[in-house]
């Protein structure tokens, strides 16, 4: 078990990005709009055989959990949500026209919200409509997120029949008291029954999402949740730190801040998660993730090919991603583009026949270099200077002289025992893997150069 002093926690527990992108979404701007995104799609379309991912955002939920940090829409009328499906299909046609002949998907993922908010028939219609514009590669990852409270056996049977082969079950916590405090009542029986049915139907990979740092959590409640989760033996787990950002997500204002675990307890919960899962046969993968030894993520970590995008950790390195739906973020041809979050704005763009992009950013040469450095550290806890130099044509020591000085100087990552810096590489230690966001932040030029009036990131512990 990693030993931490209060002083170390105090120095390193600060707001920081999770680096699902670099530059992060707070750097996106309105100057990058529909025309710029369309141009990037057409450039990406020239690489007909290049790997491509498709993310589909289905934002609707029956109710909003108080902890939720996702972009969701609360709707109880079927007519409202069905309008969205029609617009989504129209957006797919606009995107496909810009992509030209590049339509083969190696990854296809539905997220939310709650995708299974929709009926099995509605989801089948959506899937078939999207595949009029895109084709699934024979070995494609075909995945979606499900909420065990609303997902039925009919949903699972239909999805498996359509070719979905991966599921991610939203669980968060199994303790009834914690569930009551976050507005998410989900029995163990509901979760276990759905998991067993998914196994019976032959889903190839099942992930379970948990969160530590929720209101009312303690070592006893978290320990019981982990014990029952390990009993199910999912292929993967994503155990996220609760991002308490009420200034960004007003629904979190319903949480009494005094009920949140303090910094020391939150780290104790994280240590418990790591100890229990590793002791239960899982391997720690990057940040927040765990996988069985034979899982693709474990294999990718061993051979240094693990990568990261807006869908999380992935084995599909170098894959560009197109996102459909409100708030979706695409990554193509050296740029990020985010769709409108407000449904009215999203609909107006599509009805006008244009890409519904609200903001984005085109990466500079410096952004590309730093993105690679940060991604390598976040995914593989290792960075080869030679690889950076060969890939980008720069002298690593000269280009990152300030960053290396910061890492090796007093109070830096090396001084704190979080990383080692050799002549030709950086390697994060076991302690550094816990604070990998802090290690990676050393190379984030925006954190150094952009002053902000209020916090925009969650805390790193």
pTM (predicted TM-score): 0.92
The domain ranges of the chain are 20-324, 364-449
- Looking at the domain 364-449, which fold is it? Arc Repressor Mutant, subunit A (1.10.10)
Answer whether 62's CB lies under 8 Å from 150's CB: yes
Strand 312-314 relative to strand 307-309, pairing: antiparallel
- Looking at the domain 20-324, which fold is it? pyruvate-formate lyase- activating enzyme (3.80.30)
- Provide the CA 374 distance to its chain's centre, in angstroms: 15
Kindly give the confidence (pLDDT) of every residue in the chain, 461 residues in length, as a single tens digit, with 9 standing for 90 and above: 555 666 777 777 777 888 989 999 999 999 999 999 999 999 999 999 999 999 999 998 887 888 787 777 877 666 677 899 999 999 999 999 999 999 999 999 999 889 999 999 999 999 999 999 999 999 999 999 999 999 999 999 999 999 999 999 999 999 999 999 999 999 999 999 999 999 999 999 999 999 999 999 999 999 999 999 999 999 999 999 898 888 778 888 888 899 999 988 988 898 899 999 999 999 989 888 999 999 999 999 888 888 888 878 888 888 899 999 999 999 999 999 999 999 999 999 999 999 999 999 999 999 999 999 999 999 999 999 999 999 999 999 999 999 999 999 998 889 888 999 999 999 999 888 888 999 999 999 999 887 776 667 777 76
Cα–Cα distances in Å, from 164 out to 116, 129, 143?
13, 15, 6
Same CATH topology for 20-324 and 364-449: the answer is no
């Amino acid at each position: 078990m990693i030993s931490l002093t209060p002083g170390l926690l105090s120095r390193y527990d600060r707001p920081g990005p999770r680096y699902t992108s670099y530059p992060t979404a707070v750097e996106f701007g309105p100057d990058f709009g529909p025309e710029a995104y369309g141009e990037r799609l057409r450039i990406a379309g020239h690489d007909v055989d290049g790997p491509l991912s498709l993310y589909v955002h289905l934002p609707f939920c029956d109710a909003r959990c108080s902890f939720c940090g996702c972009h969701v829409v609360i709707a109880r009328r079927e007519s409202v949500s069905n309008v969205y499906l029609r617009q989504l299909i129209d957006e797919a046609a606009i995107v496909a026209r810009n992509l030209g002949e590049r339509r083969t998907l190696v990854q296809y993922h539905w997220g939310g919200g709650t995708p299974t908010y929709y009926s099995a028939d509605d989801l089948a219609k959506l899937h078939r409509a999207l595949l009029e514009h895109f084709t699934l590669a024979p070995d494609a990852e075909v995945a979606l997120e499900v909420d065990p409270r609303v997902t039925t056996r009919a949903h699972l049977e239909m999805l498996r029949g359509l070719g979905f082969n991966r599921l991610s079950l939203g669980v968060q916590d199994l303790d009834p008291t914690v569930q009551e405090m976050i507005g998410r009542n989900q029995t163990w029986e509901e979760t276990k029954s759905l998991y067993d049915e998914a196994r019976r139907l032959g889903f190839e990979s099942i992930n379970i999402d948990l969160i530590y740092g929720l209101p009312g959590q303690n070592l006893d409640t978290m320990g019981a949740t982990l014990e029952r989760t390990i009993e199910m033996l999912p292929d993967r787990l994503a155990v996220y730190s609760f991002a308490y950002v009420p200034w960004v997500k007003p629904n979190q204002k319903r949480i009494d801040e005094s009920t949140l675990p303090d910094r020391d307890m939150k780290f104790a919960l994280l240590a418990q998660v790591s100890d229990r899962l590793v002791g239960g046969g899982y391997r720690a993968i990057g940040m927040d993730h765990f996988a069985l030894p034979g899982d693709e993520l474990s294999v990718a970590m061993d051979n240094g090919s693990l990568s990261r995008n807006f869908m999380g950790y992935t084995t599909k390195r170098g894959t560009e991603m197109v996102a459909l739906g409100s708030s979706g973020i695409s990554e193509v041809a050296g740029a990020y583009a985010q769709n409108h979050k407000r449904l009215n704005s999203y609909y107006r763009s599509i009805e006008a026949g244009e890409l519904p992009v609200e903001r984005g950013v085109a990466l500079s040469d410096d952004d590309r270099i730093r993105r690679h450095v940060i991604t390598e550290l976040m995914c593989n806890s290792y960075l080869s200077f030679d690889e950076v130099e060969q890939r980008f044509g720069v002298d690593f020591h000269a280009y990152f002289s300030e960053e290396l000085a910061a890492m090796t100087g007093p109070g830096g990552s090396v001084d704190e025992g979080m990383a080692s810096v050799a002549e030709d590489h950086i390697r994060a230690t076991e302690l550094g893997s816990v604070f990998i966001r802090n290690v990676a932040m050393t190379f984030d030029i925006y954190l150094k150069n952009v002053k902000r009036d209020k916090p925009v990131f969650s805390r790193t512990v």
